[in-house]
Every structure is written in C-alpha cells, then in structure tokens.
Structure 1
Amino acid sequence: MTIDQLETLEMIVEKGSFKAASEHLHKTQPSLSVAIKKLEEEFDLQLFNREEYRPKLTPEGLVFYNWAKQCLYTFRELKTVGTELGSKKVEPFLTIVLDPLVRFEALEGIFQETVLSKHPTEMTFRSEIMSVGEELLISGEADFSISTKSSDNDMIESVPFDRVEMIPVIAKSLAKKHPGLTYKSLKQCPQVVVLSQGDKNSLLKKDAKGFTADSKKCFVTDHSLKHKMIVSGFGWGRLARNEVEKDLKKDLLIEIHDENIKPFTLDLHIMRLKHKPLGPVAKAVWAQLLQNATIKKSKRPTKRN
C-alpha cells in the first residue's frame, strides 16, 4: 500500500469517476485502474462495485476509504511540518485577499516589528468580493483571505472574524422621486449591484435577498464605486451599516424599510489552506490574524432579547 494508491482512491471517490480523477491527477485512466487493482489484491478486498456505471464503494470499501482519509490527513500534516522544519525559508512574497467590507482591525499588528520589519517579505493585498478569496486560496494565488465563506471545504482552515449587516439604502435626493420607498415604487429604480466574475445569474440570487430579478439592475465592478453611486443618487442598494452611519446621520442616505427589501448579514472569515507550509513570516501573520479575530469576537455586541 502506498500514499499514491490512497490518493488515487480518494480522488476517484471525490470526483465520481476514473476519468475525472485522472484529469485532476494528470495521470492516465489505466494507471489509476492498476493502482486500485493492486490495492485490492494486496488485501483481497473489493473496493468498488463493478456492476455500477459509476464507481461506487462497496460497504467494505467505504470503511477502508474512511480510514484512508484519516491516514492521508496525518500524512499531509506530517509533510507540512517536515517542510516547515526543513528547507522552508523566509517567503519573498505573501498575498492576502480582503473583502471590501473587511474592517481594518483585522490587519492590526501585522506590520509590527516582530513580524515583517526583520524580513524582506513583500506583502500584497488584493480586494476581491464575495467568495473569490476562497477560490484564490485553493488555486494557490493567495496565502490568506478575509472574506465570505461559500461552503465547508476540508482543505481550508476557517475562523469567523466579523458579521456585517447589509442594509438597503437610497440617496435622499432620489428617495423624493419614489414615495413611500416601497417594493412597488422602487421597481423602476436601479439596484446597484457589484458584479462578480461576470456571472450575473449567480450574483443576482445572492444579492437580491427578496428583491426579485424583475427589478432594474446597475452593475459595478467594485464596492467603493457602488457606495459612491448610491450616495450620488444613481440607484439604491445594500451597504454595510458601519460604512453608511455617517451618511445616514448627515441625511445623505435613507434606510429603506420594506418586507420585500430586507437587510441581511454577511459573515467574514479568516482563511488559509490547512496543509500549505508556512514560513516564519506567514506563521507570524497567521498568528496575528487569529489574535485579531479573537479580539473582534470578544467585542461583538450581545444580542438583546
């Protein structure tokens, strides 16, 4: 039994077919079949039911697969530790992805003397909306991300950092043209929406939150532009309560109260790949991010009954 055989088994189960697994592993399908056959012969154990169109684990195969996952997890942890203790040197570059809604308390202390000033590491910060940060972690383009979490992923270590209330607002000057600020009166008023990855359909499902797709939309490419356009009266939209508090107090913006246009909450997480080796600077940055998340959590207001 080898690690390669266990990783082959893992990928076939995860991807659902030998073909998809071979593409992901950059190996031929026959080589994957041979690896599984040798594994079965070694233990005189049938892992997959050959009568099914797609590979389906036998009851015994499922038990073996669950143990294999534990073995692979331990192996990858050991590999990470070995890399960090051995040849891993100071990283020349680190990339952190930030959702535009991140409050900058998240980054407090990262540039302190004990972290960066003693090393030549260059930091790059990327502003990306929605779940793009998580995608960049998986692709290897980012080291850390503070953004929304799209789903549970065993590859990612995730720590809750902040909860952001997104409230529907409209410029006072524009509100005068839409009496009552109701769902019906705002149907012809453009909703300003940040466009993610050119996918309007998925974005509308996430952003509408009760305001149906039959309303007008005005798409923008970044959050700061969205904020400026709403304040300037180009349309209405949802913005973080903490970022519009001053605009509300100055009477530049008005909060919309309607059952069909409700506020919603976004959860921001600090994330990294679990098994990606960390050099000394990355370790220090991650430790600081975790500390900031703990402080942030302790400062959250208690909900009133």
Structure 2
Amino acid sequence: MTIDQLETLEMIVEKGSFKSAAEHLHKTQPSLSVAIKKLEEEFNLRLFNREEYRPKLTPEGLVFYNWAKQCLFSFRELQTVGIELGSKKVEPYLTVVLDPLVRFEAIEGVFQETVLSKYPTEMTFRTEIMSGGLNSLLSEEADFAISTKSEENDNVESVAFDRIEMVPVLAKSLAKSLPDLSYKSLKPFPQIVVLQQGDKTNLLKRDRKGVVADSKKSYVTDHALKHKMIMSGFGWGRLPLNEIEKELKKESLLLIEDEQVKPFSLDLHIMRLKHKPMGPVARAVWAQLLKNCIAVQAKKSPRTK
C-alpha cells in the first residue's frame, strides 16, 4: 500500500469517476485502474462495485476509504511540518483575496508595518465576489481569503469573521417617480445584482436568496458599480447596511419594506488551506486575523453579568 494508491482512491471517490480523477491527477485512466487493482489484491478486498455505471464504494470499501482519509490527513500534516521545519523560508510574496463587502476596520492591524517591515515579502490584494475567494484558495492562487464560504471543504481551515446585513434600497430620486415603495411599484425598474464575471449560467451563488425571481434585472460585475448605479436611480437592490448608514440618514437612499424584498445576512469567513506550509509572515498574518475574529465577535456579543 502506498500514499499514491490512497490518493488515487480519494480522488476517484471525490470526483465520482476514473476519468475525472485521472484528469485531476494528470494521469491515465488505466494507471488509476492498476493502482486500485493492486490495492484490492494486496488486502483481498473489493473497494468498488463494478456493476454500477459510476464507481461506488462497497460497504467494506467505504470503511477502508474513511481510514484512508485519516491516514492522508496525517501524512499531509507531517509533510507541512517537515517543509516548515526544513526550510524556514520567508515567503517572497503572499496573496490575499477579499470579498468586496469586507469592512476594512475588521482587518485593521493585519498588515501593519510592524509585521511586514521585518521581511521583504510583497503583498498582493485582490477582490473576488461570491465563491471566488474559496476557489482561489483551492487552486492555490491565494494564501488567505476573507469571503463567504460557499461550501464545506475538509482541506480548508475556516473561522467565522463578520456578518454583513444586506438591505434593499433605492435612491430618493427614483422613489419620487413611484406611487409607493411596494414591490409592485418597483417592478418596471431593474434589480441591480452582482454577476460573477464570465458566468451567466451560475448567477449569484452568494446572493441567490436575495434575487427576486420575477424581477427585471440589470447585472454588474463590481460591487462599487452596483452601489453607484443604485445611488444614481438606475434601479434598486441590496447594499451593506454599514456602507450606507450616512445615505439613509440623509435620505438620499430609502429602505424598501416589502415582504417580497426582504433584508438578509452574509457571513464572512477567514480561510486558508490546512496543509499549505506557512512561513513567518504568513503565520503572523494568520495569527492577527484570528485575533481580529475574536475582537469582532466580542463587540457583537453583549457581556453577561
């Protein structure tokens, strides 16, 4: 039994087919079949039911797979420790992906000179909407992400960070042309929604619950543009309450109160890959992010006497 065989088993189960697993591992399907066959022969154990169209674990295979996952987790942790102990290298650069809705006061202190002035590390900051933060981590294009968590993943360490209240609003200039602020009156005007760039078939993974099915829509790929278009009276939509408190107070923006157009919350998480080695700068940044999580949560939780 080898780690390569266990990783082959893991990928076949995760991807649902030998073909997809082979593509992900950059190997041929026959080589994967040979690896699984050798593993089965070693223990006189049938891992997959060959009668199914797609590979399905046998009851014994499922038990073996669960143990294999534990073994791989320990192996990858050991790899990470070995790399960190052996190299102790300072990272030449780090990439952080931020959701456009992240409040900068929530990450205050993370990138202060006290951390970075000691090292030549270059920091790159990039914004990604919806599942972009998690996808950037999984593809190892980013070291950290602060965004919504679109799905659970065993390879990702995730800590709840902040909650953003999204409230439906329209500009006062647009409201003047309406008989009232009901959804019925709003229907002739577009709902401004953020669209993941280049993907019209997978709209608003994050905001799907906030999109009114029968509303007229206008799509933008940038949160700042969405804000400007709503402010200009082009249409209506949901914006973060913390960003528009001044506009609401001045009544340049008005809240929409209708059962069909309700507010909702978005939970932001800080995330990193569990098994990706961290040098001194990455460790300092992650430690500060965790401290900020505690501080943000403490402010929101009233003290009990």
In 1, the alpha carbon distance for the partners of 2:149 and 2:205 equals 16
In 2, the alpha carbon distance for the partners of 1:56 and 1:172 equals 58
Give the letter for the 2:196 counterpart: S
Tell me, yes or no, if structure 1 residue 143 matches structure 2 residue 132.
no
* TM-score (norm. length: structure 2): 0.94
Q: Which secondary structure does the structure 1 equivalent of 2:267 belong to? A: strand
- How far has the Cα of 1:130 moved from its partner? 1.5
Provide the aligned C-alpha RMSD in A. 1.6
Report the equivalent of 2:90. Answer: 90
In 2, the alpha carbon distance for the partners of 1:88 and 1:155 equals 23
User: Structure 1: 5+ residue runs without aligned partners?
Assistant: none
Report the equivalent of 1:245. Answer: 245
Q: 1:32 to 1:88 in 2, by over 3 A?
A: farther
- How far has the Cα of 1:301 moved from its partner? 4.8
- How far has the Cα of 1:106 moved from its partner? 3.1
Q: Which secondary structure does the structure 2 equivalent of 1:197 belong to? A: coil
- How far has the Cα of 1:107 moved from its partner? 2.4
Tell me, yes or no, if structure 1 residue 68 matches structure 2 residue 68.
yes
Q: 1:49 to 1:211 in 2, by over 3 A?
A: closer
Report the equivalent of 1:233. Answer: 233
In 1, the alpha carbon distance for the partners of 2:215 and 2:205 equals 13
Q: Counterparts of 1:138-287 in structure 2 under 5 Å? A: 138-203=138-203, 207=207, 209=209, 212-287=212-287
Q: 1:177 to 1:207 in 2, by over 3 A?
A: farther
- How far has the Cα of 1:16 moved from its partner? 1.4
In 2, the alpha carbon distance for the partners of 1:143 and 1:112 equals 18
Judge conservation of contact 2:148–2:206 (CA < 8 Å) in 1.
no
Report the equivalent of 2:56. Answer: 56
Q: 1:210 to 1:141 in 2, by over 3 A?
A: closer
- Mean CA deviation greater in 37-46 or 92-101: 37-46
Judge conservation of contact 1:111–1:117 (CA < 8 Å) in 2.
no
Report the equivalent of 2:35. Answer: 35
In 2, the alpha carbon distance for the partners of 1:66 and 1:208 equals 34
Q: 1:148 to 1:42 in 2, by over 3 A?
A: same
- How far has the Cα of 1:52 moved from its partner? 2.2
Aligned positions, number: 302
Q: 1:274 to 1:299 in 2, by over 3 A?
A: same
Q: 1:154 to 1:103 in 2, by over 3 A?
A: same
Give the letter for the 1:218 counterpart: S
- How far has the Cα of 1:198 moved from its partner? 2.8
- How far has the Cα of 1:23 moved from its partner? 1.1
In 1, the alpha carbon distance for the partners of 2:10 and 2:77 equals 16
- Mean CA deviation greater in 202-211 or 269-278: 202-211
Report the equivalent of 1:115. Answer: 115
In 2, the alpha carbon distance for the partners of 1:282 and 1:164 equals 26
Give the letter for the 2:116 counterpart: L
Q: 1:228 to 1:145 in 2, by over 3 A?
A: same
Residue identity over aligned pairs, in percent, reads 76
In 1, the alpha carbon distance for the partners of 2:93 and 2:153 equals 25
Judge conservation of contact 1:106–1:289 (CA < 8 Å) in 2.
no
Q: Which secondary structure does the structure 1 equivalent of 2:271 belong to? A: strand
- How far has the Cα of 1:87 moved from its partner? 1.9
Q: 1:53 to 1:209 in 2, by over 3 A?
A: closer
Judge conservation of contact 1:8–1:21 (CA < 8 Å) in 2.
yes
Q: 1:204 to 1:116 in 2, by over 3 A?
A: closer
In 1, the alpha carbon distance for the partners of 2:27 and 2:285 equals 36
Q: 1:231 to 1:159 in 2, by over 3 A?
A: same
Give the letter for the 1:233 counterpart: G
* TM-score (norm. length: structure 1): 0.94
Report the equivalent of 1:25. Answer: 25
- How far has the Cα of 1:105 moved from its partner? 2.5
Give the letter for the 2:238 counterpart: R
